[in-house]
Amino acid sequence: MNSKSSVPKTSHNSSRHQSFGRIQEWIQTETGIEGHSEFARFRISVFQEGIIRIQASRFDSFESNPYSVISEPAQVDFSIEQKGNQLEISTTLIALNLDLDNFSISFFDRNGNLLNADDTLGTAWIGSEVTAYKQVQEHERFIGLGEKTGNLDRSGRAYTNWNTDYFGYGIGDDPLYMSIPFYIGVHDKGAYGIYFDNTHKSVFNFGASNNRFVYFSAEDGDLDYYYIFQPSVAEIIKAYTSLTGRMQMPPKWALGFQQCRYSYYPDSEVYTVAQTFRDKKMPADVIYLDIHHMEGYKVFTFDGEKFSDPKAMISRLKEKGFKVVVIMDPGIKTQRDYFPFEEGLEQDLFVKYPDGKIYEGQVWPGWCGFPDFTKAETRTWWAEKMAFYTEAGVDGFWTDMNEPASWGQFTPNLIEFEYEGEKASHRKARNIYGMQMARSAQEGAAFQNPDKRPFVLTRSGFAGIQRFAAAWTGDNVASEEHMLAGIRLVNSLGLSGVSFAGYDVGGFAGESTKSLFARWMSIGAFAPFYRAHSMINSNDAEPWAFGEEVEEISRNYMKLRYRFLPTIYSKFYLSSITGLPISESLAIQYPQDEKIYLTAYQNEYLFCDSLLVAPVESTKEITKVYLPEGDWYYLYTDKKYHGKGTIYKDCPLNYLPVFVKGGQMLTMQSDVEFTGQKTDGVLRIHVYKGEKGSEFLHYEDAGEGLEYLQGDFLKRTISYHPESNSLAFGTAEGSYSSDFKKLKIYFHGFDSASVTVDGALFPLKKEDFAFLERLTEFDPLPENEHPYFEIKDLPYLELDHSLSAFSITGLN
């Protein structure tokens, strides 16, 4: 079969299932094959060695999403072979088998292992709804899908992708604010990923209400998905983010502690909050201005009474080391003397009805028009309007209510968006709207301050949102269950390409108890995005608002967060290069370990590759922790545990169970009050003995500008080799002069009294070391643990950081 047919015929009976049908003709193309049945046409494209794109449509041409996939097909060698009714397309990594009788597709690795296969129902339509039905492989689990509640293993549930404003959502409710139609299947034969590139409302059913298949479907548009195979889950995520992009390196201040409330006003209250952080020696970098900073909730305004001189206020906050982030909602009040509305109306920038009248919905300011962010002119206009904030000194932007939300929560589907010239209804454009608003904010921040890295935080988004913004999990609730659910949400976002994510520490809705807030602050210190936030008409919820004990516990973990900044910043850099998460579900490194999927352990995660965090409710004093394969050191005492087993661990309120993986390294710095403050100039490197070695890429740059893109950075690889009992420091790359002048290398689990540095013998010194400070009156002493959780006689070595490449040997 080697000729292309005319346009396929469209069925007139749209009320029942219509399968793709038998392939009548196909031809080879530069990237794969394409062809048709009587009813529909298809295209199969080899995108990369391990990625194949599948497209099926009932119409003459294929639809596409212009927003998510940013890479082009690579030049890949592949082969095509036909045997009877079977057609095989192969690369060096995968083989696709196409059944020409029913357009049924199976995917194999090059060893012949079946990884994913269509059910015999294959690809089909019911009216405009298109569905791909898939077999379930033996012992298959499903992970990912972005911001979705529920268990780590998605099996047995169905999920809807339809961006929704959901105040106080339940821990099992769906859908929420953000849609990322990408999941990973894991079973005995390996793992694979599927990204469904369709922006309409879609459903992923992983075995809910049936025992025959799993499926993904969209209410309209084409079947358009990317099948991804790599030898590991981590490499699958790398491949997915090679399609949809990776985050830009954020400003360092965005990794510090951030304080928000709905709302801080007037300006005197903002000053008081900032000063209290400094008075109480609690490190913090960011204060947010929520909707009450505006006049009548209108974006691009300041309330003249509450904030009489915003520029002077922000300047004073900067003197204390604080950055200011302002909220921006999309709703533009339809008020004739309100300049942004007049401009938007004159320039035709709002979402409209089919008859040309602008769509209005009610939000905080009242009846509002909504900028059409799927229109390039609107994004440019929004970028220009942001000068209002940047001229006042604002540093970052928080795009909220961008699902888009409106009172009533039922936006009419007939409203129309530009969609980059294609024109689309709300059905197609809704899921992409928040992402395009975040894009507009990022482009606006870059336009207004071209020498600085933008910081944008968003509530809504779609696949690829990581290129434009950090994400937080919306209006959560102050409860133990929500605290743990937020961890799963962030870890699932990490599985789906969104590395920079977090939750409202303490809970947005409701009132946190003292113990809950303390525990949440300790867990939040090990999240990529670390922000406390609470709503109006609730009790104060700053870290000092719950009494002395909670204040001291909060301060301890805030300080620990800032001490770990060299590690965190280095891992953010790696994530910007690889797309791998900073907060990492155990399913990435241990996908075949059945224990990690159990409800008792599914909240555990790796932070910055090395730290295993075992979250636990604040009501518990002892907890079970599952330690995967390998050696693990309790962070606060160096007590060593062998993995692949469960332990019981004391978890008093001031000690969150955290373990360090044997063979890994951590870097630390001295205490600072904010990220821009100078340290004591000593980089503290902690090396943990293990059977398997590792590499740590230490990264530094100026922290806020773009000079690093031209080589003004410092990168240095540190390698631990247990087989040779050595530690190797590579040559530093880049032109940046390090912030550290000395190295202080701590050796955990080693018995060496001395080491050799490039042939010269150095005796090791010893000191007592504590990751957390003792609380003055509230420090319990669990049995069999060192008093105050202090590591005694920890060996260390001091060296000059200016040394070029060198090796340390003699580690035992």
List residues with catalytic annotation.
400, 403, 475
* Whether 703 contacts 677, CB under 8 Å: no
| Tokens, residue 446 | 């870059």
Contacts of 495 (CB under 8 A, 6+ apart): 143, 144, 184, 237, 581, 585, 587, 588
Q: Where does residue 559 rank: exposed (0-12), middle (13-18), buried (19+ CB within 10 A)? A: buried
Q: Annotate 179-218 with DSSP letters as a single string.
A: ---EEEEEETTEEEEEEE---S-EEEESSTT-SS-EEEEE
**In whole angstroms, what is the distance from residue 2 CA to residue 567 CA?**
57
3-state helix, strand, coil in the chain (%, to 5): 20, 30, 50
**In whole angstroms, what is the distance from residue 321 CA to residue 466 CA?**
27
**In whole angstroms, what is the distance from residue 669 CA to residue 345 CA?**
52
Task: Estimate the crossing angle of helix 376-385 against helix 339-346, to 10 degrees.
Answer: 160
Contacts of 674 (CB under 8 A, 6+ apart): 253, 256, 283, 284, 285, 321, 322
Q: Dihedrals φ, ψ of 530, to 5°?
A: -120, 95
| Tokens, residue 120 | 């015999």
Residues in the chain: 812
* Whether 335 contacts 321, CB under 8 Å: no
* Whether 474 contacts 166, CB under 8 Å: yes
Q: Dihedrals φ, ψ of 110, to 5°?
A: -75, -5
**In whole angstroms, what is the distance from residue 782 CA to residue 650 CA?**
7
Instruction: Put the strands of the sheet holding 714-721 in their side by side order.
Output: 694-700, 714-721, 726-729, 806-809, 754-757, 760-763
Compute CA distances 395 → 52, 224, 247, 682, whole Å: 41, 39, 18, 29
